[in-house]
Each structure stands twice: as C-alpha cells, then as structure tokens.
Amino acid sequence: MSQAFGKVAVLMGGASAEREISLLSGNAVLAALRRRGVDAHAFDPAQRDLWSLKAEGFARAFIALHGRGGEDGTAQGALETLGIPYTGSGVMASALCMDKWRTKMIWHASQLPTPAWHILKADTRWQAVADELGLPVFVKPAREGSSVGVVKVTRAGDLRAAYEAAAKHDPLVIAEQFIEGEELTAAFLGEQALPLVRVVAPGGNYDWQNKYFSDETQYFCPSGLPETAEETIQDLVMESARLLGCRGWGRVDLILDAAGKPWLLEMNTVPGMTGHSLVPMAAHAVGIDFDELCARILAQAWLEGGLLDLPPGPLPKEGGDGGSRAAPARQGVDLPPGSLPKEGGDGGSRAAPARQGVDLPPGPLPKEGGDGGSRAAPARQGVDLPPGPLPKEGGDGGSRAAPARQGGGLPPARNEQA
C-alpha cells in the first residue's frame, strides 16, 4: 500500500498563528508515514511555493497545516488546481469550517444545537450583548484556532477589551454564550465516529497552554458517558460534519451541559496530530494506532474537482435535501467510498428553523437580509447573508433561549489517557 501512494508531501508549518503546532503535527505524521514505508517528505509552504509540488513529482499531499493558509480551503484550492490529491475536507468545507460564525449558522439553520452568539464590532452596545447572552461569554476571533484570541469575559465592562484583543487576530469577532458543563471532543475518520474524548483542563480553562503544554489537563477516553449518550453525540457529530460537507477526517469540539444537552462549538478540519492530540487518542481507543491512523487518512486523499463533473442523465438518488422549499433541480455529487454519509436527506425537509434574533445596531436598518430581526423575533426562515465584504457581517447576532447552565456531573471516568 505504501508504494501506491507515490511521493507524498506532508504539508506542515505555514504562516498561521498555529505554525508551531502544525510543525509538531506534521513531523509526527511524517515519521509515522515513513515507518509505514511511504515515500513521505516534509513540505513547508512558508518556505517553498506550493506550485513546486508538481514539478517535484509529488503524487499526494497530507495536509497537516492548521489555521489560515492551510486549513481554510486555500491550500486545498491550490492542490485542486495542481491536480494533486490531498487529505481531509475539500475547498468549500475547509473554508466554511475555518469560520466559526458561518459554521454556527449552518448548524443553527439545520436545528443542530450551538450556543447563541453575537457578532461584535467597535460600536457594539456591550451591555446589550451581556444582557442578551448572559455572562460570562466567550469572545473569539471567528477564523482562528488553538484558543488563539479566545477570552472568557465575566463582566460587561471587559467586553470591549476582549473584542479588541480578538480583533487583532481577525476582524470578524463573535461573542458566544457560555455553556457550563463537560468539555468533549469528537473525531471522525471517514464515515466512522471515533469515541468521544472528555477534557478536564485546570480551572476549566482549555487555552493554548493547557491544550499543548500542560501535564495537568486530563483526557478521558472512554469518556465515561453512558453508552446511549455517547452514541447520540456521535450521531450528532456525523450529522454536523455532513451538513458542513466535511470529508476524510475531522474533529468537533462541544460542551455537554448539566441537562445532558450537547452544544456544538466548532469543527476542525485539520485537527492536531501532536503527542497531546485528541484524534490519535480517540483512534487508539478503537485499536487504530498512530501510524495506521496516518495511513488511513492518507488513503482517503482525493480531488473533489473530478467529482463535480456531473454525469448526464437523471437526478441522483440523494434527494430529500432541501426538499421542503421550492425544490430546485438538485444535482448531486457522488462521494467516493470512505466519505461521510451521503449528502441527501438533509434537514431541509424539516420545519423551518428558529432563526436567531438579532440585535440591531444603532442607526439605519441594515441594507438587506442577514441582519435585522430583533431579540423578540422568534422564528425566521433561512439565513440571508449579506453579499458584502466583512464589515457588513456585523449585526447578525444570536439570542436563543439560554440553555441550562448549572454545572453537570458525569460518572467518574473509567480510564485516563494523556
């Protein structure tokens, strides 16, 4: 099998804020693939032009880049253009998942649970956000990872400073309702949901330090959740990935509240593969060691472009997606084996989702859809995105009913793996 992959580039490093972690991930993957006899080579797009991959005879790419410039659809687009199959999600899903705000809107529109949110801008009425979401809130740059720029704010007076700190990383900043509960992360490999990992960080603070460098952060896999709860969450995770169009592998972060309700935080399309990383931990729990995990991810390398060449003939069988609205002629995309569940059967046939209310900014009404509404406004259908660039994004906030927020207890963990 190893020879069948040809010459493989392990893309690592890059120029994002997560460069350091990507180098750890990439080097671990590189070593694993070499142990499996794969002709694998390190390739850092911050040092070499991606366009040279073709000239250098690379047949496949394992993307171990985290964050912008690697996990966000841009490297995927370059590889599509070069015709070099790559691991993980394609261009659209990678770009979408890089953006926490848009990811949440997809989930919310499909009635999957994600904490209420509010877009922050320099002229946001901070007290109104605090009133709407409750305190504390999490303030985060929409397109960062590894907890970079993520701040838990407990006083309305601190919101502006948190916004300004987050905005240094990304002009698109969200405030998110705090969900108190158990931190879980859930990986998938192809169509297989891996066991949940429960994370217990010192002081409940799963920041950069506690993610990658602390020995005090505890990881439980098996999670200690009852089997039915675990399976329900795994189903939710597969559905959340399918809605976003993810493929190959990925990892969802979520919080389980005291009432036992899971809340989706974000989707990682190139999760960490370091010694502390959670996907390898989850895979290990089902007998897939690190080398095998890397080989399986590589084996699913693909080019989505070819799949979009629609065959002539009748509409595909995937129907059901979006069926409740005026049904357009849908042209499906047949995913290759090893992909996530079929895209059809989408929640589109369900009742219209409750649209998040939106806090209007002072001044004139927003020009067109996407914003508007009010906290009192209950159900709105669809998500009308403004056509404009980033600054127009503001105003779209979130205010669903607050979930139960008391701390929750899980049964004691049966096993611990760090």
Ligand X SMILES: Nc1ncnc2c1ncn2[C@@H]1O[C@H](COP(=O)(O)OP(=O)(O)O)[C@@H](O)[C@H]1O
Binding site for ligand X (CB under 6 A): 115, 138, 140, 145-147, 150, 176-179, 183, 206, 253, 255, 265-266
Is the dihedral angle over the CA atoms 63, 219, 408, 227 positive or is it negative?
Answer: positive
On the question of a cis peptide bond just before residue 136, with omega within 30 degrees of 0, the verdict is yes
26, 181, 272, 347: the catalytic one is 272
18 in active site: yes
CB of 217 closer than 8 Å to CB of 202: yes
| Rounded distance between C-alpha atoms, residue 46 and residue 145, angstroms | 18
**Nearest 5°: phi and psi at 282?**
-65, -40
| Binding partner selected for residue 302 from Mg ion, ligand X, none, CB under the kind-specific 5 to 8 Å limit | none
When the beta carbons of 86 and 212 are compared against ligand X, the nearer one is 212
Shortest reach from residue 265's CB to ligand X, in Å? 4
- The first and second tokens of residue 390, run together, are 């980033």
**Residue 280 binds what, of Mg ion, ligand X, none (CB under 5 to 8 Å, by partner type)?**
none
| Residue 183 interface partner, choices Mg ion, ligand X, none, CB cut-off 5-8 Å depending on type | ligand X
Closest residue to ligand X in the complex (CB): 206
Q: Which is nearer to ligand X, 126 or 263 (CB)?
A: 263
* Amino acid residing at 152: K
> Measured from the CB atom, is 100 or 296 closer to Mg ion?
100
The nearest distance, CB 300 to ligand X, in angstroms, is 23
Q: Does 18 bind Mg ion (CB under 5 A)?
A: no
CB nearer to ligand X: pick between 32 and 64: 64
Residue 124 or 210: which CB sits closer to Mg ion? 210
296 in Cβ contact with 288 (< 8 Å): yes
Question: Among candidates 363, 382, 191, 187, which has minimal Cα distance to 285?
Answer: 187
Rounded least distance, CB 66 to ligand X, Å: 9
Tokens matching residue 173: 């900043």
212 is catalytic: yes
Report the alpha-carbon distance of residue 180 to residue 352 in Å, rounded. 28
Q: Which member of 13, 14, 16, 18 is catalytic?
A: 18
Does the annotation mark 268 as catalytic? yes
Query: Of Mg ion, ligand X, none, which one does residue 146 interact with (CB within 5 to 8 Å by kind)?
Result: ligand X
Cis, peptide link before residue 222, omega less than 30° from 0: yes
What, of Mg ion, ligand X, none, does residue 150 touch, CB below 5 to 8 Å by kind? Answer: ligand X
Active site annotation includes 350: no
- Residue 281 partner contact from Mg ion, ligand X, none using kind-dependent CB cut-offs of 5 to 8 Å: none
C-beta of 81: minimal distance to ligand X in Å?
27
The yes-or-no answer on residue 253 being catalytic is yes
Give the E-state strand segments of 238-342 in sequence order. Answer: 249-257, 262-268
| Complex with Mg ion: residue 120 or 278, whichever CB lies closer | 278
The three-state secondary structure class of 74 is: helix
- Separation of first and last alpha carbons in the chain: 31
Check 253, 343, 346, 371 and give the catalytic one: 253
Residue 266 Cβ, how far from Mg ion at the closest point, in Å?
A: 5
Supply the minimum distance, in Å, between the C-beta of residue 410 and ligand X: 16
Nearer to Mg ion, 124 or 185 (CB): 185
Burial 360-390 (b: 16+ CB within 10 A, else e): bbeeeebeeebbbbebeeeebeebeebeeee
**Residue partners of 250: CB distance under 8 A and separation at least 6:** 88, 89, 97, 187, 188, 241, 267, 268, 269, 271
321 carries an active-site annotation: no
Q: Which residues of 274-294 are buried (b: 16+ CB within 10 A; e: fewer)?
A: bebbbbbbbbbbeebebbebb
Q: Is 253 in the site for Mg ion (CB under 5 A)?
A: yes
Q: Has 272 been annotated as catalytic?
A: yes
Residue 176 catalytic?
no
Shortest Å, Cβ 271 to Mg ion: 9
Catalytic residues: 18, 146, 212, 251, 253, 266, 268, 272
